[in-house]
Amino acid sequence: MSKRTVKKTMTIILSSIGAVFIIALASLLVISGIFESAKYLEPWQKTYSQKFDDPRIQLAAHGLLAANGHNMQPWKIRLDKDDPMVFYLYADNDRLPNEVDPFARQMIITQGTFLEYVKIAGDELGYKAAVELFPNGGYDEQILQASMKIKPVAKIRLTKDQPQNNPLYDSLFLPDTNRAAYQSDKLTSEQIDQLEATNTDVNMSIKIFQDKENIEKQGSYAMKSATIEAGVSRVMQETDTIFRANEYQKNKYRYGFSVEGQGTSGIMQHILQGLVTVFPSLNSGKAASEMFIQSTRTSVDNTPAYAMIITNDNSRSSQVKSGMLYSRLVLTAHRLGLVMQPLSQVLEEYPEMKEPYSGIHRDYASDGGTIQMLVRLGKPTKEVPQSMRGDVMDLIIRE
């Protein structure tokens, strides 16, 4: 075979390989839904709430952006029929992840994050939002899920007021969680003072740690609990059921997890989405467990500081208030150029997590308090995309 023939043959082979690659890539992008409009991101637009005339829905549209456990967005609202300035917030028990949150503690904290966003948005839009917790009494814990359906977490009464510039308002529209690596810079004393000042409740405390001993100890708890969780198949399966592999699924469900939660964006996001749609095993079973552990390792190895929210008791009201405090904390962090990520596994209350749960409470809440939140914080190394959000009208209880 002549050199010319060999060269021509190689050219044909390379061209064929290139064509196959392009076709495969294009197929993955189509499967990912690259041309699909991301309706699940519409609530992040500052103009989104302006589509509604009712101020209660306008404020709920802001509450929808709040941090929430497992991105389940477990909120329902009932508009008072007789008073156009009153509405009620309910915990949506249909969105309760029973395996990781068997006592609904994280779900009730999530009610508080919503309420604080409502209050902050109220300042900006010219409404004072007065919050009354459990106006119809507390839950019957023996029939918790049934009780959630009939008893509101909060009654919110609006009073027309002059719009006020709330310094935290613009931060409502930023992603609440950044799972990427953080810069190694320690927090300044001024930053710590401002973060700690977000708490004004004597029954709660914020503790910030950035010394080597506590960084290593809390990182160890995070890794141990992540390893335990990765090995509990029913927990990982629960997570898998709320994973949205592509744009079509994200637009259909608008809650749960997706690949951009790990910071993937742009063309790589769509390639990965296409791959996990075609090959679901890439994001389930052993692969998912290993990915989760590796993600936690990256977080732990690149964390300059941790923070805890600790309450004196573990009442439902304290859980809600800790969520309200967490919203103020993360929004203040944004203003200071910082980002945060909850490391919630060690605080979860299913049987396999008992040992590290008891250990971290023994080390950091030995006086009988409850650690409601453990988070890492620091300066980001990169921005992360916004996560899915539902339509605010889907929160309304139809009567």
Cβ-defined contacts of 163-166 (< 8 Å, 24+):
163/123, 163/124, 163/125, 163/126, 164/123, 164/124, 164/126, 165/123, 165/124, 166/120, 166/123, 166/124
Q: What local confidence, expressed as pLDDT, does residue 79 receive?
A: 98
Question: What letter does residue 90 receive in the DSSP assignment?
Answer: E
- Residues with Cβ within 8 Å of 352's Cβ and at least 6 positions away in sequence, in order, are 228, 229, 231, 232
Mean pLDDT by 10 residues, the chain (399 residues): 52 54 75 90 97 98 97 98 97 96 98 98 97 98 96 98 95 96 97 97 97 98 97 94 94 93 76 82 84 94 98 98 98 98 97 98 96 98 94 94
**pLDDT given for residue 398 in this prediction:** 87
**pLDDT at residue 6, as a whole number:** 45
Structure tokens at 173: 């529209």
Q: How far apart are CA 334 and CA 384, in angstroms?
A: 13
The upper half-sphere exposure of residue 262, i.e. CA atoms within 13 Å in the direction of its Cβ, equals: 18
Predicted pLDDT at 286: 86
What pLDDT score does 25 carry?
72
The partner residues of 75 in beta bridges, in order of sequence, read 91
Strands 127-133 and 154-160: antiparallel
All structural domains of the chain:
42-172+386-395 (3.40.109.10), 176-243+284-378 (3.40.109.10)
Q: What integer pLDDT is reported at residue 1 of this predicted model?
A: 52
Task: Specify the pTM.
Answer: 0.94
How confident is the model at residue 393, as a pLDDT?
A: 98
Check if the beta carbon of residue 263 is closer than 8 Å to that of residue 380: no
Instruction: Report the SS3 class of residue 289.
Output: helix
